Structures are given as structure tokens and as C-alpha cells.
Chain A
């Protein structure tokens, strides 16, 4: 929301104030710094300063080999590690010409959607907390912990899953897993409605987010926003639907878009609500996947010393923060020649400077939170 300031003695020059927000600020979701140039409460610009969490993951890939890089992909986006796993797996399989067994693909889908719900729950809770509502955060994290328990049973870890392997997944679903997840999904749906009542439709909360930092569809396309941020601006584009990979073409689900219920299309509230809508879509996909899962092996036979033929591939997966694209080049040896990862948070980061003009300082927190920026994903 841009604010016009009318002060007596308008001709007088006011001094620009430079503020540092971060690197250690609770609302930056990691280590992220904004250099805010402000005129009183109103920002003239907020310049993002990134690189605090750079771990040179892309370079590490060139040193550890094809199989060994899988645990590192967890660290690209540690809030939703499953889709990063899948991206690396798909890229390597495409290079080496490996076909994943059907059950393996279903396991990947189930794990990926669980991870997506996990990530969106954190986004929902963290947005509330950044705005000042602390109770919904504990509710969202409670649900997230329950999903973590399910994922722990599946792959043995709660955060850095390392569940997928090149050619499939490492472990099959444990016995009785389908029923357990289905039971949990029945519990999750009312809880999300509860969070809606608690937070989403709260008037104070709506006033803080509606009509703030509106991103028009054209602007969203120009800045290459991806995933939920793009869809919140009213652009119906989902990789799972438009370029189906894995087994996503076998499921029925909708692609929700921002509708501007509380204000304009593409405002902060729409972006927040997008995550809640997507949780319901993920639940739909999970229900179908768990019921349809076929029998068979979960992993293809892949040599331990994998040497894909020389060449390069580009693979895109729909992560929790949008289109995650992997460019992988091989020179025919046991180490990748070059790996490049382009992530959703990275593109969302670029739009903040443009949006911040004329925003209040307090609204910057809302912008960062609703774009769901995770700092390690920006820097990698």
C-alpha cells in the first residue's frame, strides 16, 4: 500500500535514513540482509544483500560424484528437501537413461507431497508469527511435527531426508503406511480449517496483508516469479499440470489461483492464502496416490559407479517454493561437469526491491514472509 505523506512545510528537505534489517532478524527466515533507505516510516527502497548462506553446493557436486551429491540436495532448500532430491534424481536419470519403476515414482510423489505440505505449514505459521500472531505458529508447527513423524518412519530423518536415489527411492513404504497417512490426512483437513478461523479471516490480520505489495500478472511474469507466488497473481501455471513429470498426470487436482478475495489479486493475503489452498490440493493428490500405488520394485538397477554419457540436461520440478530447475552437464566421468540450480526464492528475491518503493517498513516483513523466501535457497 503506497502512502502519500503530506507534511506542513513540504518544501523542506527531509533526511534519508539508512536502516539495516538483518542479517540476524527473526523475520528474514535464515540469514538475509536488507539495506532499507527510508523516509520516516516509508521506504524509498530496500536493497537485498544476499550471500550469507552461500555453501557452494553447486561446486561440491563436481567433487562428490553422482550418488554422493544426493544428501547435499537436501541442503539446497532444507524446508522442502524432497523436491530437491527429486530434481537431482530426475536430472541424473535423464542423463544416464534410467527408467524409474512405477512404484518408485509413486513413492516419490507421496514423499514429495508430504514435504510440500510440511513446507507450506511452516510458511503459513511463520507468516502469522511475522505479522504478530504467535499462537497459529505453534498450531502449524504441531501439524508439521506430525508429518515429520510420518516422514521419519519412511526415511529415518526429519529434516535432511535423503530419501530418493538415482533410479528410484531408497526404501519402500513401511507396512501399514498408507492407512497411517490417510488417517493423518483426515485429521489435517479440519486443522487447516481451524487455522483459517484462527488466523486467515481475522480482520486485523487481513488488514495487515490485503492490498499490500500487489503484484500484477504482467509484473509477476516479467520478474519470473514461479510457483505459488506466480499463481497468487492470477496466472494459472503449475508444472505438475502443464508439463507433467513423474506420475502427476495420473492424478486429478486443481490449480488454485489468487482471486483477490480480500483486496486485489496478487496482494500479500492472496499469496498467503495460496499456500492454504495448495495444502488441500496436495491432500487430494496424496489420497489418490496412496490408493492407486501399484506393486513392484521401487528402484531401478543402477551401477554403483555411475558414468552417464557426455551431454547436458535441463530438468524442472515443482517445488514448494515453485519451479526448481536443474541444469546438469556431464563429461562422461564419475563426477558431474557442471550443476546449476535455479530456485523459486531466488526469483522472488529480485522483485522485493521493486515492491518496496513506497511501502511502510513494517510491511517489508509481510512481503518477505508471504513470498516465502528461504535464505539458503537463495544462496545455495
Chain B
């Protein structure tokens, strides 16, 4: 009999102990925020730099080396690069990324020598059909980027290349051993 009433007492006491914690949360700051319009900046801008969002390619600095195509485990990148016989230049005829297949693993952006293919912080990519999720970056065939020995001097490309290099710096570089 005593055990019976003791059990009832313990049940009530522990339940109220839990309730008091729940009650204390009434006076704390809320942890949740309304999506998408109740914060001052876009959600995309609050994400960390390494965030792996939708892929983007800067064709101006793409060398056409096909490293990303080889690294992709699910073959969602398709590149056609051909050497133009007259001008001896690499021509990019096609650079497609199937974002519907992409699993955002980031293996393609690692080997890129110029940081041309990179993840943006954009994640809102819903669409009505699978076809429209295939991103076709090459509209008209463009020549591939050729790194200059004396360093880049074209003012149009310079900022893009700088961004690419900053992106690469985020990856651990085994060559220089600095680990940064």
C-alpha cells in the first residue's frame, strides 16, 4: 500500500519536474525563425563559405581539363572540349551538369585547377521538370581558358580568377604541406 502511494507521488513529482523545464522555456529566446521572410538577410548569405549548394561554372576560367568530369562518381557532368584545328585553341562545345542527379558531394570542385566549377550557397532549386534541372553552361562554343605565365592581366577575368583561387585555398593542399 505504501509503495502504491509512493509510486503515485514519484510519478507526479517527476512529471512536474519536467513541466517546470518546459515552463522555463516560455521565458527563453525562441530558437526558431520563420522561413523565408522574417530575417533581415537572405538565408543563403548566412550560410558558411564551405556550404555545398547548387554548382556553378565560370566558363571564363574553365581550362577544359575534364578533371571534374572524371572525378564525378555519378557522371552528371558532361563536357565536350575539342581542339580547333585552325586557331589551335581548345573549344568548349558543351558543359552540362545534371543537377537532378548531382548529390552535392563536392568531389568535382576539388581537382579543378582554377576554381571554375564551384558550389554556390544557393539551395532553392525546385523546378517543375527534370529537364530544366540540367544546367547548360555553354550557349555558344567558347575557347577554354589558358593560364598565362606572367600572371593574369585581363581586368575582366582577374576578379573571377581571384574568386576561384580563394575557393581552392579552402581545400587542403597536399603539395605545399601547409595544410591551409
Contacts and interface: CB of A to CB of B under 8 A. Distances in A.
Q: Is A bound to B? A: yes
Contacts of A168: 172
B172 A172 contact: yes
B3 interface: no
B179 A172 contact: yes
Which of A69, A101, A155, A203 has the most chain B CB within a 10 Å cutoff?
Answer: A203
A70 B73 CA distance: 9
A169 interface: yes
Given A156-B50, A197-B17, A299 B174 contact: yes
Interface in A257-312: 295-302, 304
Interface in A159-211: 160, 162, 167-172, 174, 194, 197-199, 201-204
Interface string B14-30: 11011001100000000
Contacts, number: 106
Interface in B1-17: 7, 10-11, 13-15, 17
A17 interface: no
A62 to B, nearest CB: 12
Nearest to A175: B180
B179 A103 contact: yes
Contact of B103 (A103, A160, A300): A160
Given A71-B103, A170-B110, A171-B170, A156 B51 contact: yes
B52 interface: yes
Nearest to A195: B21
Contacts of B47: 152
A340 interface: no
Which of A169, A295, A298 has the most chain B CB within a 10 Å cutoff?
Answer: A298
A67 interface: yes
A38 B127 CA distance: 47
A358 B13 CA distance: 32
B106 A156 contact: yes
Q: Is the interface of A mostly helix, strand, loop or mixed?
A: mixed
A174 B170 CA distance: 9
Contacts of A197: 17-18, 21
A26 interface: no
Given A155-B50, A156-B48, A156-B119, A202 B18 contact: yes
A160 B105 contact: yes
A371 interface: no
Interface in A105-137: 135
Contacts of B50: 152-156, 171, 174
B172 A169 contact: yes
A142 B49 CA distance: 23
A22 interface: no
Nearest to B48: A153
A73 to B, nearest CB: 11
B179 A69 contact: no
A180 B175 CA distance: 29
A72 interface: yes
Nearest to B9: A203
A160 B21 CA distance: 33
Contacts of B66: none
Contacts of B174: 167, 297, 299-302
A219 interface: no
14 contacts: A64-B74, A65-B73, A68-B73, A71-B103, A152-B51, A153-B48, A156-B50, A157-B51, A157-B104, A171-B50, A171-B172, A174-B50, A299-B174, A304-B71
In the complex, the 3 A-B pairs of residues with the closest C-beta atoms, listed nearest first: A68-B73, A71-B105, A156-B50
Given A68-B72, A142-B31, A152-B48, 12 more contacts: A152-B50, A156-B48, A156-B52, A162-B106, A167-B174, A171-B170, A172-B180, A197-B17, A198-B21, A203-B15, A297-B178, A301-B174
